[in-house]
Structure 1
């Protein structure tokens, strides 16, 4: 098979460390006139165009972008496939919102044709917004996950998803049982986990909708298969936290419920964590678990403000999540716009380089995939974006006033959205062209 080698020339920026740990200057690499070289779906070189161009064969195809920035593909650590059709649903906080909008919307996924249609729309939206990897909730129906993975596999995307487990405190038409949930998960894991660039996540919706029996079986699945993920929700809303205490009076709080059923670990991702305490952050960090910070959703549903400085203090892995449909945009650029404001409201700053980290390498670390995605290091998957400085008239005008890459990056995250993403590449193949 002939080597497929291509090169892309533009300004290039990627995160190489957490600014909270190494300082801002040591946290990124920037090449004002950079070159990215791809061999067979992997990155083989990145650096200054002047250094790399002379080392390449004369016949290599070099795509040169003017007024553009190449970054790693963005990573969404929390999003719901079946809620695509109810994004922007009016007027409720979490628990009422689930009953009024979410559960009826998710019931439609009993129909495979509906699941196929939404999976296609959902993946196109992710790629239009520059998201190349996502940790995805399906519905309770196995066909929701089959539809998603079938669509992702065709494009050779690095994606993680799972069927929701929910055997109580939800409408009858949306519940499984501990045993059926276990068997359906097993079948999905056998079919999809580790196939191509796909991974499986055991997905109890949240503690209130699973019985102790079901949570125990979720923990059992993690023990039976290596490298499985688990995703669920935690401490999003104060009413929800009180509900968990009432349902599990024998446990020492919300996190302790998951801890008791052996659901904490290196591939455990807990969405929200708005109301975690210091001890819970310390326990999550100690077990290698991660939190998905979902600022847009937390504001939209009135849930509260995530305490990023507290998470940093405990060296807790944090990724970024859009949480569509609680979140109102598939765009991680727009999500970072909201994250900045969430920090401002707490008297804290979110630097553009920390934002870049959260949306790329931080997400990859939360998913234990930093050797594959999240940077532009040679040897990693060629998942990357081309961001267009002239995407909108205002963006174009504003960026002409920017004096350095920090300002450019911040403006992209404040004014940018899906229109800013000119092209999206996954495993070296173009999967979106604006």
Structure 2
């Protein structure tokens, strides 16, 4: 049995974020005991001294901070080539840039090459788990599953269902989408650390017949993750009302097709009313907060604090390529700014919790990842909080751990990721 001890400053969270102060553990001189990729113990380094021996390798990051790997709960891997494309709003951006880029993913070779790049970027930015949109093509999901399996990344993805209100070359049918999903589930769901996600793009691009088939798929797999978009943009919401005049709200469309439940992740959720919020709470559905893309596309400012006060589970997401960075540190910075514009001030501890344990909880993975409790998979990142001269100067002036974390949120990016580990094995190291 291969064992190793990681020496470092160690921080992790014990509960998902709610309206109360997040509970965390911090060890200024900490140790992480890992056995065959699984965490055996986390605590003060002194508590591990009695078991140290020549048979146990020791990896010393004493001057760095170790945290659980970031969990990104909403990201589009086929949009890596349209980041920084200037659409006037969401629908314009989709039409002018995104759909054209996604058309390439019917080619398996292109999808495989893009998957390689995408996964490398995740690891370079310290993201060890992600809930990912592919395209309407099965090839996009097959490629990403293939490359993620090779790297042992914990990843959830699915083929997009989309049979109307998009270019003809990106349309599937209710039947083909259902059958393609069944084939992908049979081949990839629960293979290694992979999971399939039921993935209607959004209500606007699925006919009622396709939503019926999506509901059938959800009934067949009651514990499977569901991912889609909800109430991101004012014009999008207005269009939805034209397409579904019998439904009370955008959320009600998904509700009537049985798509609200635990492990259902709804991205954006800027324009929800109080009845919607209560329904999210009742069904234990969750929200993926995408502050970077909401700002970039001018979609609006999600009311994070209100959702937390109403006991809605919210996690954090980059939403590449509407989002402008793979870095969850930069995304935390945008989350802070969005909350501040709404009159709320988020603590650095709460923001790091959103990006780690709360994300794991939203995906139903908190029994596997998200913190350093014994029995969890050893997915973690090594943070260099002094990665640039400016950060080093600013960190040297800090008086508390929270102040240091806040500096990382505001000034940090991929340069702060010293190393990324999956199941106790180093998969990325910054040179």
With normalisation by structure 2, the TM-score equals 0.98
Distance 1:113 1:247, change over 3 A: same
The answer for the alignment partner of 1:328 in structure 2 is 324
Deviations 1:72-107 (A, max 9, x none): 000000000100111110142000100000000000
Query: Are 1:9 and 2:7 an aligned pair?
Result: yes
1:21–1:242 Cα change, 3 Å: closer
In the other structure, the counterpart of 1:277 is 273
Output the CA distance in 2 between the equivalents of 1:340 and 1:96: 27
Partner of 1:373: 369
Distance 1:4 1:414 in 2: 38
Distance 1:295 1:22 in 2: 21
1:382 aligns with 378
1:396 aligns with 2:392: yes
Alpha-carbon contact 1:67-1:389 (below 8 Å) kept: no
Does residue 1:188 correspond to 2:188, yes or no? no
Indicate conservation of the 8 Å contact 2:6/2:60, yes or no: yes
Is 1:126 the counterpart of 2:126 in the alignment?
no
Equivalenced residue count is 430
Aligned equivalents of 2:44 and 2:54: distance in 1? 18
Counterpart residue number, 1:150? 146
Q: Secondary structure at the match of 1:75?
A: strand
- What is the CA-CA distance between 1:413 and the residue it aligns to? 1.1
Is residue 130–residue 421 contact of structure 1 (8 Å, CA) maintained in 2? yes
Distance 1:420 1:180 in 2: 44
Per-residue CA deviation, residues 225-274 of structure 1 (Å, 9 max, x unaligned), is: 24211100000001100100100001111000000011111111000001
Counterpart in the other structure of 1:260: 256
| 1:183-208 Cα shifts (integer Å, max 9, x gaps) | 00110011111111101001110000
**Contact 1:37–1:45 (Cα < 8 Å) also in 2:** yes
Structure 1 residues 190-229: aligned runs within 5 Å: 190-229=186-225
Greater shift after overlay, 240-249 or 219-228?
219-228
- Taking the aligned partners of 2:75 and 2:218, their CA distance within structure 1 comes to 21
1:19 CA displacement: 5.3
Contact 1:67 1:390 in 2 (8 A): no
1:309 to 282, 285, 305: 305
Q: Given that residues 287 and 314 in structure 2 are in contact (C-alpha distance below 8 angstroms), is that contact kept between their aligned partners in structure 1? A: yes
Q: Which residue number corresponds to residue 82 of structure 2?
A: 86
Quick one: distance in 2 between partners of 1:5 and 1:226? 37
Contact 1:157 1:427 in 2 (8 A): no
Q: Which residue number in structure 2 is paired with residue 409 of structure 1?
A: 405
Q: Distance in 2 between matches of 1:102 and 1:61?
A: 47
What SS does structure 2 have at the residue aligned with 1:326? Answer: coil
For the residue of structure 2 that corresponds to 1:369, the secondary structure is: coil
Cα distance in 2 for partners of 1:353, 1:164 equals 34
Task: Compare 297-306 and 312-321 and name the one that shifted more.
Answer: 312-321
- Deviation of 1:429 (Å): 1.2
Q: CA deviation at 1:313?
A: 1.8
Aligned with 1:17: secondary structure? Answer: coil
C-alpha separation between the residues in 1 aligned to 2:249 and 2:20? Answer: 34
Q: Counterparts of 2:184 and 2:122 in 1: how far apart (Å)? A: 23
Aligned equivalents of 2:67 and 2:197: distance in 1?
A: 27
| 1:34 and 2:49 are equivalent in the alignment | no
Indicate the residue corresponding to 2:235 in structure 1: 239
In structure 2, C-alpha distance between the alignment counterparts of 1:13 and 1:263, rounded to whole Å? 35
Distance (whole Å) between structure 2 residues aligned to residue 172 and residue 242 of structure 1: 23
Other-structure match for 1:433: 429
Which runs of 4 or more aligned residues in structure 1 lie more than 6 Å from their structure 2 counterparts after TM superposition?
Answer: none
Alpha carbons of structure 1 residues 162 and 171: separation in structure 2 relative to 1, 3 Å: same
Structure 1 residue ranges without an equivalent (≥5):
none
Cα pair 2:71 2:127 within 8 Å, conserved: yes
CA RMSD of aligned residues (A): 1.0
1:286–1:302 Cα change, 3 Å = same
Aligned mates of 2:17, 2:153 — CA distance in 1: 28
Separation in 2, partners of 1:113, 1:319: 33
Q: Shift in Å at residue 58 of structure 1? A: 3.9
Do 2:17 and 2:358's aligned partners in 1 also have CA atoms closer than 8 Å? Answer: no
Cα distance in 1 for residues equivalent to 2:17 and 2:154: 26
**In 1, Cα distance between equivalents of 2:262 and 2:19:** 20
Aligned residue for 2:47? 51
Aligned to 1:141: 137
Which secondary structure state, in structure 2, belongs to the residue aligned with residue 399 of structure 1? helix
CA deviation digits over 1:388-416, x for unaligned, max 9?
12211111111111111101111111111
